[in-house]
Structure formats: structure tokens, C-alpha cells
Chains A and B, each alone.
Chain A
Amino acid sequence: MIHRVLGTLASSASQPADDHRTPPAVRLADVTHEYGTGGGRFRSGDRRTVTALRNVSVTIQPGEIVGLEGPSGSGKSTILHLVAGLLVPTSGSVELHGTELSALSNRKRTRARRQHVGIVFQHFHLLPSLSARANVALPLVQTGVSKRKRRRRATELLERVGLGDRTTHLPSELSGGECQRVAIARALATDPDVVIADEPTGELDTATGETVLELLTEIGRERAVVLASHDEATLAVADRVLTLRDGRVVSDGG
């Protein structure tokens, strides 16, 4: 079912006729990134230069799920950071929903990330002191949404990920799979155009992982999803998988 839905959405989203009407969700053009020079304060003090990405060009359309595979250090996480605007490339351009991120100030990049990108972490990273509902509502705090509306939106999202009966539970009272679903609900709080997920099933057993993947593919109907993973089952939900080696795309799958 998942593949059928995705197949339809992916093929329609990648049709050339749409390209000039809607901007791609993500576009990386000729991106090179070196750690240890520019590109923010990452590992400041490290004088050695490590090239994490070399001339990478990727376009991801809305409704498309793209997997990133490759060994550790191949550049998967760097691509996720660039898409989220957490890094600025050494050269090349990163566009998010038609906006060139490199040209934005730190503050504006943060705003762009908040509006257009939802992030799902391998280790969930929920605030242990807040309830599931409060965790989901967190991204809305910055935009000044009232408490009542934040709660309503968070409850809706938790119901959508099947946790309508867990809204007031603390993360410590939830299973790993439930935590990841709360994290997915949080990633959707601002209704982003792109969801990035770094090893989203890395902490979960196979059965729980499948539930989370189903959820991610469902999300992928409406927005672009970028998944970085070593796990074949996870990558199997992607419409196409980019294989990275030493910072280069060696295969853009399909």
C-alpha cells in the first residue's frame, strides 16, 4: 500500500511539467562542504580540513521520499544539516522551497528551518520534563501560537500518529516506538514542506521500526522526506536512494 501511494505521488511530483510551477522542496546544486573552514563554527579550533561533500547536486520534489545511504563519514548527515540550514556549504547553493539558504542570516535560516523543515532524530530527543503534547507543541512556541491552539494542534498530531491516549504521558512513560512517533508529530507541528530523518529506526526493534516507517511514508504523500540510514528496510520505503561514498553521490538510485 505504502509503495503504491508513494509511487503515484513520486511519479507525479517528478514530472517536468511541474518543475516551473512549484519550486522543488530541496535543491542542492554543486555543493561542496569542508569542515574546518568556513561553513559556521562547527568544530571550531580544528585546523585540519575535511571535505565532507564534493560537488553534490540533488533535487527533491514535494511528495518524494529520498533515502541517503553510505558508510559512516560518506556525507549523509552533512546533507541533512545543509537541508535543515544547520550548515552553510563551503561552495554551491542549497535551496529550500525556492529560498537560497546560504544567502540568509543565521536568524532567518532558523526561521526557514522552523517553517519548512521538520527533523526526526535517531535518539528522539524529546524533553524529558515535558508531556508528549508539550513536546509536540514546542516548535509552535517560537511562532507565538497561543497555548490553547498549541494544545489543540499537538493533540491532533498525536491522534494522527496513533497516540491520542498518550498526550499527557512523559517520554519516560512511553516506549521507544511511541517516543519516535511523538518526535514525528513534533516534526509536523509547523506543517513543514520537508521532513528529514536521521536513522529514524536506529533505536527501534523491527516491528516498531515498521510502524514508524509507515508513518513516515504516509507523511511523504504530502511533503518531501529525506531519510539517512544504514538499514535496508528503512531505505526500502524511499522512492529513490542516493548512495554516497567519500562525499560524492555514486548512485542516485531510482
Chain B
Amino acid sequence: MGLLSPFVRTRAVIGIALAQLRRSPGRTVLAVLAVTLSVLAITLLASLGVGVVEVGETGLDNADRDIWISSDPVDPSANGAENPIPDAHGTSAALTERDDISSAAPLAMHEVYIGTEPDQLERTTAVGVQETHDGFDFEAGSGFDRAELPDEGERPTEPQTAEIVLDPQVAEDAGADVGDTVYVGTSRQTAPEYEFTVVGVASYYSQFLGTPAATVPLPDLQIVAGTTGTDRATFITADVEDGADQGAVRDDLATEYREYDVRTSEEQIEAMVAEQPLVLASGMTLVGLAVVGGSVLTINLFALMVTQQRRELAALRAIGLSRGLLSGMIAVQGLVIGLLGGIVGVAATPLLADGLNRVALSLVGFENLLRTPVEVYVAGFALALIVGTVVAGITGWRVGRTLKLEHLEQ
């Protein structure tokens, strides 16, 4: 045996493996498709997992506010949302007067009933804000201007602006369009008392909350919710002046408003995501499922492939080929199939993710629910290549260990 023997053997093993794949095109194509499916299972499920975790974060990012003042617990899904900050407008005004803050605005959330008919009401979340802005990206209509505060001592009982921006899905469910009148109330009984005009359709705050939401002027929402007197809000958000240090402003405000939690936007993102264990768990479960499911599919595929070649392998073993050589032969087949399946799977991922995102957008109103960071592609491709090769090799090795002439006589 010469020094070149391992090289000669490796070349021969690759040649035989490729011949096996080439001469069974049907089996090869099916195997590649199966690996593609495994890769897609990984990339798409993992994308969904990443998306689920990131949805809330991106919503907050979109809000683009430097400082968040709240009082825990904040339930961003607005189910039974508490609005623990009283005198929200007064506090916001006081904040805006500070030198280091350019603007501050309160934000309240309430669970409400909305419908075009008093007896056909759907439950949804309403976000009360002072005004809408360009970031809303309206699908139809426009927003409302800054709501004027009621004069001191004056307690209006009717919404003053009475304009509402609906999430596309809420609008569709309610059958409402721009210009229509909808009824809004915190209960089915009170809803018929408050009429709002739909001025726009946008999903801006739906993305922020992770659930379809309507946007109304804060004073109007407070009237509907009966919190005008205490002027309650969920958050007060603020932008710091250019050049001011977010951290320093945060510390300052934390000292001044000891009863509240004052956070920078990054800290707020972390806090809100951490308060959503279900979302985190769902996201992680999806990623876990993706990896386990994809691996099981791949392992199963190569185990089947080896079983199918059992007789051929038994013959090769009988004529004196070593287990190492046989498992190498199978591993090369696994590598090639994994490589092809990995490439097809990774190439198909953005197309399918895009398609699924469109479906998700039309069904639940989320944009870009599936996120495909480069790690997702790497995980899918690595699974195809590494698991494919290793599993094929190990299965080949194990089969080589138990093969006897009996397999040839069957």
C-alpha cells in the first residue's frame, strides 16, 4: 500500500458515491427535495420564532421615543390595560418644559368595543395619543391633529375630536371605511353613546402592541373610559434634546418621579419583552421545534436511504470493503444531497417567507412576521450539510457493522 492509498481510496469513494447518485436520479431528486423540506422547516419555523420575539421590539423601535415613563406592570397586549399614570397631560407638559427634553406625550390603552352598528360590536384595543404623525403610513385616509386639552375645570362628556384611525383588520371586521361612523365604548352598553368618524386606516400601533388596535385622541379615549377626571395614561414618552445624554436624563427623571419606572427606549424594549414570557417561550419553542423537526426529518431520510442500499452495502462488505469505506461512500452521498438540498432550501426560504408574510399580513395584520436574519440561513444550511453527512456516515457505519451474507439472500 503506497503513501497515496488514502488519496486513491477517497477519490474512488467519491466517484462511486457520485455514480450511485447519478444512476438513481429519481431517488436522488426525492432525497434532495426531502432535505429541502427539512431546511425549509428550520428556516421558516425559526424565522417565525425570531419574528414573534422581535415583533414587540420593532414596534417599540418604530415608536422612536427616547424615554419611557411607566408604572409596572405594563401589559402591552392591552388586555385589561392599566393606566396607572394620573395627570398625564400635566406631567407631559411639565416634562416638555424641561431644557433637556424636546417633547413629551402621554399614551393610554384601553380595551374597547367598536362597531358600525350599536348592536354589532367587536372587542379590540384602543390607543389614545395626542396626535398621529407621518410614521403611521396610512393605507387610507389620514390621521387627526393634536387634540386640544379641555380647559381647566371643564369636564366634557362627549368626545371633542371624535376621530378614529382603525387597524386594517379592525376596519375590515367592522366593515368600516374612511368617512364612516363607528361606535366606541369600554362596554357594549356604553359604546352606542360615543360616535367617532373613521379618518384613516393604519396598522402603526398594531405593530407596536402586537395586536390589532384603533387609535383615538387621548382626551376622547379618556372620556370614553371615564378617566378624564384623573387624566390617566399607560406611558408618558419623551424625546431628549439633541446633544442631551439619554442616560443622564433618565437618571434625572427617575429621581424626580420616584413612583414611576423611567427607562431609555432600549431598557423599555428589554422590560417589555421580558414581561412577555409567553411570547418568548413561543418564539423559543418555534426555534427549538424547527431544529429538532428538521434534524429528525434529515436523520430519517438518510437512515431510509442507507436501508434501501442495504443489499448493495452487504455485498461490498462481503467482498472485503471496510466499514470506513462504506460509511465514507454513504457520507459523500449525504454530503452531496445535503449540499444540494441546503442550497435549494436556502434559496427558497426568502420567497416562501415573503409569501407567508403576505398571508400573515392579510390574516392577522402583522407585517414581516417571519424574520430571516443570516443566522436562520446558516442554521438551515448547516443542518442540511452537517447533519446530512454525519448521519449518513454514522448510519452507513452502523449498517456495515451488522451486515451479513443473509442480507444478500433475502
Contact A84 B318 (CB under 8 A): yes
Contact A138 B1 (CB under 8 A): no
Q: How far is the CB of A123 from chain B (nearest CB, A)?
A: 7
Contact A147 B408 (CB under 8 A): no
| In the complex, A130 has a CB within 8 A of chain B | yes
Stretch with Cβ within 8 A of B (4 or more), from A22-30, A113-121, A156-164: A113-121
Q: Per a CB cutoff under 8 Å, which of B24, B322, B405 touches A77?
A: B405
* Residues in B neighbouring A115, C-beta threshold 8 A: 320
Q: How far is the CB of B45 from chain A (nearest CB, A)?
A: 36
Q: How far, in whole Å, are A121 and B405 apart by their CA atoms in the complex?
A: 9
Q: Per a CB cutoff under 8 Å, which of B13, B318, B406, B409 touches A42?
A: B406
* Contacts A114-B320, A142-B9 supplied; 16 other A-B pairs, CB < 8 Å: A43-B406, A77-B405, A86-B318, A113-B318, A113-B320, A119-B319, A121-B315, A129-B24, A139-B319, A141-B321, A142-B325, A144-B4, A145-B8, A146-B8, A170-B23, A190-B320
Contact B408 A86 (CB under 8 A): no
Contact B401 A141 (CB under 8 A): no
Contact A110 B404 (CB under 8 A): no
The residues in A between 96 and 130 inclusive whose CB is less than 8 angstroms from any CB of B are 107, 110-111, 113-115, 117-119, 121-123, 125-130
Q: How far, in whole Å, are A251 and B406 apart by their CA atoms in the complex?
A: 26
Q: A81-B404, A125-B408 are in contact. Are A144 and B6 (CB under 8 A)?
A: yes
| In the complex, A80 has a CB within 8 A of chain B | yes
| In the complex, B271 has a CB within 8 A of chain A | no
Contact B8 A147 (CB under 8 A): yes
* Residues in A neighbouring B11, C-beta threshold 8 A: 147
A residues sitting closer than 8 Å to B (CB atoms) are 40-44, 77, 80-81, 84, 86-87, 107, 110-111, 113-115, 117-119, 121-123, 125-130, 134, 138-139, 141-147, 150, 170, 186-187, 190, 198
Q: How far is the CB of A19 from chain B (nearest CB, A)?
A: 28
The residues in B between 1 and 52 inclusive whose CB is less than 8 angstroms from any CB of A are 1-2, 4-6, 8-9, 11-13, 16, 19-20, 22-24
* Residues in A neighbouring B4, C-beta threshold 8 A: 144, 146
Q: How far is the CB of B401 from chain A (nearest CB, A)?
A: 7
Contact A144 B8 (CB under 8 A): yes
A-B contact pairs, 5 of them (CB 8 A): A110-B320, A113-B320, A119-B319, A129-B24, A147-B11
Contact B19 A129 (CB under 8 A): yes
Contact B405 A107 (CB under 8 A): no
Interface size on B, residues (CB 8 A): 35
Q: How far is the CB of B21 from chain A (nearest CB, A)?
A: 8
Q: Which residue of A lies closest to B1 (CB)?
A: A144
* Residues in A neighbouring B322, C-beta threshold 8 A: 107, 110, 142
Q: How far is the CB of A110 from chain B (nearest CB, A)?
A: 6
Contact A141 B13 (CB under 8 A): yes
Q: How far is the CB of B7 from chain A (nearest CB, A)?
A: 8
* Residues in A neighbouring B8, C-beta threshold 8 A: 141, 144-147
Q: How far is the CB of A106 from chain B (nearest CB, A)?
A: 8
Contact A139 B320 (CB under 8 A): yes
Q: A113-B320, A121-B315 are in contact. Are A86 and B404 (CB under 8 A)?
A: yes
* Residues in A neighbouring B406, C-beta threshold 8 A: 42-43
| In the complex, B308 has a CB within 8 A of chain A | no
Q: How far is the CB of A96 from chain B (nearest CB, A)?
A: 13
Residue among B20, B320, B401, B406 with the highest chain A CB neighbour number at 10 A:
B320
Contact B312 A121 (CB under 8 A): no
Q: How far, in whole Å, are A64 and B6 apart by their CA atoms in the complex?
A: 36
